[in-house]
């Protein structure tokens, strides 16, 4: 009987792993994946980690937060991405193994870290972290070290494995090569998300030749380097990253939705602080607002919980909360103008006054959002946020930093780009049945500060 | 100012449509779509329909229900699919227009019907409809004709447009050609979902050459036919459909999740009927259970609401509800064996007895699920569920039914295939610390009935 | 110095292989391939075989003969395909090695056989073989065993290796499993050509999931079998094969070009026999016509030689040779009608008379071409051309023939389909300035026999 | 009858166009194309041009010359590319037509120019033009204006059409917008070849979103400009171009084959001048060498003619001609080192002396090849080779030059990159059975000059 049952369909097969002495599954498990075609699981440890409820929870958290409101294809979750990072890492390790010995435990620590690197993310992390000063990295650590199924599975292997995995993810692990495979300027995480996010949004910018990059990777003591003959694939990757940041991740419409989301959270916190009588008590939020979230509380947070409240709040009496929630749920987003911070300071007081006059609280309806990105950086010793540069392995055996060889990378290297936008509810302003003069004035101020 | 604001980014741009006399947008709107690359909106009507809250709600309902638990890529929503069907229809109409005049209103009715054909779907419709005897087609009609933003937008065009659109979707509209473009054995709906579901699951079966099919379509009085020279593209479509049904839509693991979902709903209904004291009152479910769902209630239902309750119910005292919800949320699904209905009847009473003996309620833990599909059918006049066959337009001008020309279609034509599976919680049975003998007996009965 | 030179660009890098004791190249060589992305060469033997002049000659022979006149994309050569078959085999062997030991020599024999299986093909083999009773399989054997660079390279390994490779290709080798990987109903050769020909023609029919097929292959004593869970990928492969035969390989326009090509060869042979005074002596053809082609002669034949003569012959005085060559070079092909052999016999004498009357030699201008294909066959012991069927490995360990499990394969299994077409120069017939009555009569006969 | 015959298979269908009053084909003709999926021909003029023998000749001339010796997939021809340019132009015109009226004749002139822009290319144009001072642009003009089928077809439309088409291709036509669609920094020619060459070589660099670029094109008086919202697609195109030049078009191995090809031509010219007694008289070459090529001669040149001679010359007694031809045919290319022109001048005399000493003629065996590319340039009035820059159409209606908006384009804009390589026969040098000392010295000089 058992035999038959284990022979069931392969995709995310429901069968518990057969026990084997060597930690390998009886039969390799295969997940169909639209980005990497197949995700292969041979190790029992990985199979069991995927089955834990903390990992399954990632199915209810979108990979790209509010991006689906701009690119409707981008509905994929962190579960999806985490499997992908694991698979990229599995292939990396397979290639690197051929070049030199890897300890079996080190290999599993590496794969587990890839799989679990995002496990601490909550719903719409970006906004939540800013509003509630949460830190998904801290939660990742707690989930790996705390009283969880994940911890249990890891400990079965050896009691110090959870600590090791947590250290790799925190970049404090002593095998720097291993750390660099997950966190560096070219790592399994980024390679998966660029390809995956490009696939699901449908943009063509994110394409690069990952297979080639993996084949030209060579292990060095504290990071992987890339054979010079593969430079163009690496160049292409850097350019993809650059394009994806500005075309997708920082898309102004996505940021409009994020602005609204943040303001909803602010408003709810304020109302809770004021003991506002919510129609449905936001129990899931209370601990967040008072900063006493337990691990158990945290693990309950997912996007369905958030959307449940937002839907409920559409009918709250508080006009700000209700309006913002309706905006988010029905995609009635804020408009934006480019914003020059220095010019904008001059008109800010007047704008705020005008907003108040027409009955709009400027704290919620007049919002500047700034995004900035540094697509690639060479080594700047001593600087804050210093990054390990990408090195090429030259034919003569020397290493050379990428931007010294590549014109296009050199062109964007070290150049931080920042973008400021001013968001506001244009629908309210264009309805000029009331306060026509003030609204006209606001619109004209917004336009002028832009030019 | 206005000009500037409307020139913002195109993807699902936030700008309200400029009013024009001819119902066309000032500037075509473009959605990036991973399946059709771009979705083009030129008509103000379509743009406004997409912006309604009833349509936006489809973002919170997955296209493939529980399939994401089998194929992790399949996280796409009905919003995504609905835009796709609209786009396929837009291209169809563009091609057909070249072949003969279309009335402008008819064209818009056609596009709107394509966009809205699924608007009445609720969360996990398949299971909900079975348990609560709901009917998404009825809801589609109500949403189009009732007090909704969609109705308002449609009525702006002309007061009888809502009725027309509802009739097209209900297949009662008198322009049969138009109806056939949305509902027939080869229509915009199916072409989009096969391509889209294949794309998101990552399987290769769903591929076919839609562009070719659209180009060989020719309008006839009550349906579209296909030039003989494009037969192979049509053949390929039929084969794709066949493969997708058995490889994806009826995947046994997906059905395991559906079985559990149905049983959760059954259990909740039973508990409500018994006035079981829920920790969190399932207000959203009450009206469903008593069959008095209003349109307003219905529109609040989406998958985040359902998952909110399922998470809450994991902590209910009722062991069945709590267990089933944990299974669904953490993907601890039922196992299955093939099931021969006639043989199975013989052992059913004994199995049920044994389940009761070991403390498992067989109504919830021993479930047969049957799926059947008829991939293509030629015309069988007078039969129930009669279907319009696909016709080829031969070089000499005659029409010929597809299966008479195509060997492969002939081979599967009219052949209904049915599959029965018996689902049960193997984890409970394989834990033989208690009732070892009974559990062994159950497993042996399940195995034997299969062979 | 040497080091530097060997570090040059990888694609078909010009560097001779470094000698190593283990027969491995210092650095893996990589060919960029649009179908399999990369072709990997690690073995010195393979690298050297690719560099032989007999193998390089395959660059001047198109994979699909006259198909480029129907599908302009299909300009790829046998060199291209041969590398592909090698790569598919390399992946097969890599997968099979994991399942059990392979002798190193056996592995290399296998890879070399895959690479060289088509090395005996000449230009437009199909037509040449029919007209000159040549046999590319015989030439393959001679090239491998004769005085060639290929033979030299193979013999370096061991003196009996050439014989072994020739036996594998001739299917007489005693390791039947190995033979089946190259020649069976699902082998490396077919998998590559279906994918490759689909890629270059641009048709979508040839797609199937090769990666999946390779993963579910399992070695049995005398053939590879496929795990049942991969059945649908195998089904898809069979359907692809079926579609490619009728949509591409037997495309009637391609066959029109082949008909003309054959008639050119016939005419040239006839003229040579008659000592017709060619303006340029067709030295390359002479030995062919008298059946005394040496290996050295044969290796000089490639498509540029053939096209050189065809261009020259456009200006010969013989009106038939000149006309046919102009048709081939300038793509002025024959038209065709469907042809029912039994009906056609009745009108044949009259048609021939009419052709003669209007001055067209029916031996050259009235040609029937028949194509037939048996897409898949189960085992028919004792029958001529018996084929090894495809077997599935069932969950319980039994083997089961594919068509017993798959409805679609069953539908086309064992069903030979034959197609007859009658080709003729319609341009001559439609120009009715002379012999209007006869030409009209011919056209009418052709039409009537068709119906 | 006629009806039936015209209903034959579509791909490059053999049917002559039905005559219609409006110049449209009865039924659109469709070519399957792997890059653009389908190429659509509706105009009789285009259909007939494709059928001319001068256009069909392009089937025998590879698009990328010797590149197939580096990337085996790149066996596609200029026929293939020319159809592609036509199709890109057809789509451009379709889009631009929506924006404003186009005269029907202007439209056809535009399409014909796109189709015919490369019709004057000969075999391996790059090398031939350098050695024989030929000019494919001059030949294009002669083919269009001279006694050819192409001229006849064009003149049927109107007597001045050939002149117009020739002017468009020569960039002297007065409709500058139309000229810019075929020849500018972003035109139909380049868009097709980047996509096509990337497709056939299998590299990923050449991908960009052509559909998007076509949609954001807007006609201005003397060139097409691009809406700012599509800037990133244009950026991507520029980057693709940049990568393709250095990764594919200037690949050092391709250049090695080109060097050998040029030297073969030089040698043959020299021998002809000396009245060397060729075994087979190279009639096709004679007129080239004495500079008196007629149009009729020129049209006979294709790659099969060239390869015919190269094969024959492998057996000539002249050791240089024979060696070089064997190298080309069997892909035994020259090796290369990077070459610094200033350093190299110092060692040149010594190298030449050493080559002579070991019996290698340095004129043939010691060759410097320089390639340079300017990926994009803004406007530099008055400079030689001034190029029309790419302009973006900003939201406010102004035009802005691309590199002012795009960081990455700015980074490579106006920067010409030149690369020098020194080619030589390493195989001769590494065989040190004779002249060991001199050969060692040569290798050491080559290495040192590089560093």
Residue B292 at interface with chain D, using a CB cutoff of 8 Å: no
In this prediction, residue C351 carries a pLDDT of 94
Contact indicator for B373, B416 with CB cutoff of 8 Å: yes
Contacts of A335 by beta carbon, 8 Å cutoff, 6+ apart: A256, A423, A424, A425, A426, B5, B8, B14, B15
Statement: residue D267 has pLDDT above 60: yes
In this prediction, residue D343 carries a pLDDT of 82
The residue-averaged pLDDT of D247-271 equals 95
Residue segments in chain A with a per-residue pLDDT below the cut of 70: 1-21, 99-101, 379-386, 449-451
Dihedral of alpha carbons D432, D438, D444, D450, sign: negative
Tokens of residue D230, six digits: 């599509």
- Put simply, the answer to whether C1 touches D59 (Cβ < 8 Å) is no
A209 to chain D: which residues are within 8 Å by CB?
204
Contact indicator for C234, C227 with CB cutoff of 8 Å: no
Which one-letter DSSP state was computed for residue B87?
H
As a whole number of angstroms, the distance between CA D179 and CA D388 comes to 11
Secondary structure of D402-432 in the HEC alphabet? HHHHCHHHHHHCCCCEEEEEEEECHHHHHCC
Which residue in chain C is spatially nearest to B203 when comparing CA positions?
Answer: C209
- Put simply, the answer to whether B205 touches C232 (Cβ < 8 Å) is yes
Q: Percent of chain C, pLDDT > 70?
A: 92
In this prediction, residue C424 carries a pLDDT of 97
In this prediction, residue A380 carries a pLDDT of 62
In this prediction, residue C8 carries a pLDDT of 37
In this prediction, residue C18 carries a pLDDT of 43
In this prediction, residue C7 carries a pLDDT of 33
Instruction: Mean pLDDT check: name the lowest of B147-151, C255-259, D244-248.
Output: D244-248
A214 to chain C: which residues are within 8 Å by CB?
none
Residue A432 at interface with chain B, using a CB cutoff of 8 Å: no
Domain boundaries, chain B: 9-202, 252-371+420-449
Statement: residue D306 has pLDDT above 60: yes
Q: How many CA within 13 A on the CB side of residue C39?
A: 30
Give domain C252-371+420-449's CATH number out of 1.20.1250.30, 3.40.190.10, 3.50.50.60, 1.10.3720.10: 1.20.1250.30
The residue-averaged pLDDT of C76-80 equals 97
Strand D399-401 to strand D335-338: parallel, antiparallel, or no bridges (unpaired)?
unpaired
User: What does pLDDT average to over chain C?
Assistant: 89
Statement: residue B367 has pLDDT above 80: yes
Higher-pLDDT residue of D142, C27 = D142
pLDDT band for position D416 (50/70/90)? Answer: confident
Tokens of residue A190, six digits: 């980024």
In this prediction, residue C61 carries a pLDDT of 97
Comparing CB atoms, the residue among D207, D243, D412 nearest residue A411 is D412
Residue B3 at interface with chain D, using a CB cutoff of 8 Å: yes
pLDDT band for position B144 (50/70/90)? Answer: very high
Residue with tokens 């919620």: A364
Contact indicator for D100, D107 with CB cutoff of 8 Å: no
Contact indicator for B223, B39 with CB cutoff of 8 Å: no
Q: Maximum distance among all alpha carbons in chain D?
A: 79
Question: Which tens digits make up the pLDDT trace of D27-42?
Answer: 889 999 999 999 999 9
- Put simply, the answer to whether C235 touches B242 (Cβ < 8 Å) is no
Residue D98 at interface with chain B, using a CB cutoff of 8 Å: no
Strand B391-393 to strand B224-227: parallel, antiparallel, or no bridges (unpaired)?
parallel
Chain-centroid distance of CA A414 in Å reads 22
In this prediction, residue A261 carries a pLDDT of 97
Residue A40 at interface with chain B, using a CB cutoff of 8 Å: no
Which residue in chain C is spatially nearest to D199 when comparing CA positions?
Answer: C34
- Put simply, the answer to whether B10 touches D37 (Cβ < 8 Å) is no
Question: Which tens digits make up the pLDDT trace of C298-320?
Answer: 999 999 999 999 999 999 999 99
Which residue in chain A is spatially nearest to D412 when comparing CA positions?
Answer: A408
Contact indicator for A82, A55 with CB cutoff of 8 Å: yes
Assembly ipTM:
0.92
Instruction: Give the A window 342-401 contacts with B, CB below 8 Å.
Output: none
pTM equals 0.91
Chain A nearest-CA distance from B72, in A, is 6
Q: How many CA within 13 A on the CB side of residue D202?
A: 24
The residue-averaged pLDDT of C196-200 equals 97
Number of helices and strands in chain B (H, E) = 24, 9
Query: Where in B183-265 does DSSP place strands (E)?
Result: 217-219, 224-227
Question: Which tens digits make up the pLDDT trace of D182-227?
Answer: 999 999 999 999 999 999 999 887 789 999 999 999 999 889 999 9
Chain B nearest-CA distance from C39, in A, is 23
As a whole number of angstroms, the distance between CA A20 and CA C322 comes to 75
Statement: residue C126 has pLDDT above 70: yes
In this prediction, residue A435 carries a pLDDT of 94
Write the CATH number of the domain with boundaries C9-202: 1.10.3210.10
Helices (H), B252-406: 252-273, 283-289, 295-300, 303-313, 319-330, 341-357, 362-365, 402-405
The residue-averaged pLDDT of B401-428 equals 90
* Collapsed DSSP state (helix, strand, coil) of residue B279: coil
Which one-letter DSSP state was computed for residue A30?
E
Residue B159 at interface with chain D, using a CB cutoff of 8 Å: no
As a whole number of angstroms, the distance between CA C15 and CA D335 comes to 8
Statement: residue C428 has pLDDT above 50: yes
Contact indicator for A239, A406 with CB cutoff of 8 Å: no
Taking CA atoms, B249 is separated from B56, B176, D165, in Å, by 25, 29, 56
Give C369's strand partners.
Answer: C421
As a whole number of angstroms, the distance between CA A403 and CA A391 comes to 9
As a whole number of angstroms, the distance between CA B177 and CA B111 comes to 14
Statement: residue C9 has pLDDT above 80: no
Contacts of B132 by beta carbon, 8 Å cutoff, 6+ apart: B265, B288, B289, B291
Interface test with chain B among C236, C247, C415, C417, by most B beta carbons within 10 Å: C236
In this prediction, residue D379 carries a pLDDT of 64
Statement: residue B17 has pLDDT above 60: no
Interface test with chain A among B9, B13, B14, B431, by most A beta carbons within 10 Å: B14
Chains A, B: CB pairs < 8 Å: 177
Chains C, D: CB pairs < 8 Å: 177
Comparing CB atoms, the residue among D236, D247, D408 nearest residue A411 is D408
A37 to chain C: which residues are within 8 Å by CB?
211
- For helices D252-273 and D125-132, give the axis angle rounded to 10 degrees: 40
Statement: residue D451 has pLDDT above 50: no
C430 to chain D: which residues are within 8 Å by CB?
2
Which residue in chain A is spatially nearest to B330 when comparing CA positions?
Answer: A53
b vs e for B345-361, b when ≥16 Cβ sit within 10 Å of the residue's Cβ? eeebeebeebbeebebe
Q: How many CA within 13 A on the CB side of residue B417?
A: 13
Query: Among residues A408, A418, A74, A432, which one has the least CA distance to residue A246?
Result: A418
């Amino acid at each position: 009987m058992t035999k038959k049952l284990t022979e069931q369909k392969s995709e995310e097969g429901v069968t518990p792993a057969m026990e084997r002495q060597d930690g390998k599954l009886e039969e390799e498990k295969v997940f169909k994946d639209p980005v990497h075609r197949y995700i292969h699981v041979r190790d029992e440890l990985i199979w069991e980690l995927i089955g834990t409820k903390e990992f399954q929870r990632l199915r209810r958290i979108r990979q790209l937060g509010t991006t689906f409101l701009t690119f409707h294809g981008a509905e994929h979750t962190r579960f999806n991405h985490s499997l992908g990072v694991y698979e990229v890492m599995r292939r990396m390790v397979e290639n690197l193994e051929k070049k030199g010995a890897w300890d079996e435990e080190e290999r599993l620590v590496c794969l587990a870290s890839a799989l679990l690197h995002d496990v601490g993310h909550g719903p719409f992390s970006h906004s939540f972290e800013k509003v509630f000063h949460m830190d998904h990295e801290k939660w990742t650590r707690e989930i790996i070290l705390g009283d969880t199924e994940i911890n249990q599975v890891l400990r079965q292997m050896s009691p110090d494995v959870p600590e090791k995995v947590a250290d790799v993810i925190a970049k404090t692990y002593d095998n720097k090569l291993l750390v660099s495979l997950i966190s560096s300027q070219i790592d399994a995480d980024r390679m998966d998300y660029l390809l995956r996010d490009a696939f699901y949004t449908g943009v063509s910018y994110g394409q690069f030749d990952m297979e080639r990059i993996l084949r030209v990777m060579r292990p060095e003591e504290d990071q992987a380097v890339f054979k010079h003959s593969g430079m163009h694939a690496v160049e292409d990757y850097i350019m993809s990253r650059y394009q994806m940041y500005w075309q997708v991740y920082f898309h102004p419409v996505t940021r409009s939705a994020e602005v609204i989301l943040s303001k909803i959270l602010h408003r709810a916190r304020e109302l809770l602080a004021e003991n506002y009588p919510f129609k449905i008590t936001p129990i899931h939020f209370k601990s967040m607002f008072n900063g006493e979230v337990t691990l158990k509380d945290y693990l309950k947070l997912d996007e369905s919980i958030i959307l449940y409240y937002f839907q409920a709040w559409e009918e709250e009496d508080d006009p700000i909360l209700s309006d913002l929630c309706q905006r988010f749920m029905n995609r009635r987003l804020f408009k934006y103008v480019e914003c020059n911070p220095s010019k904008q300071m001059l008109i800010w007081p007047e704008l705020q006054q005008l907003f108040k006059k027409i009955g709009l609280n400027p704290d919620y309806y007049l919002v500047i959002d700034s995004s900035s990105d540094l697509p690639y950086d060479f080594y700047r010793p001593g600087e804050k946020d210093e990054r390990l540069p990408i090195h090429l392995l030259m034919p003569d055996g020397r290493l050379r930093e990428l931007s010294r060889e590549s014109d296009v990378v050199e062109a964007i290297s070290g150049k931080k780009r920042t973008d400021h936008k001013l968001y506001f509810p244009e629908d309210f302003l264009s309805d000029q049945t009331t306060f026509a003069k003030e609204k006209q004035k606001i619109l004209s101020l917004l336009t002028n500060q832009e030019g």
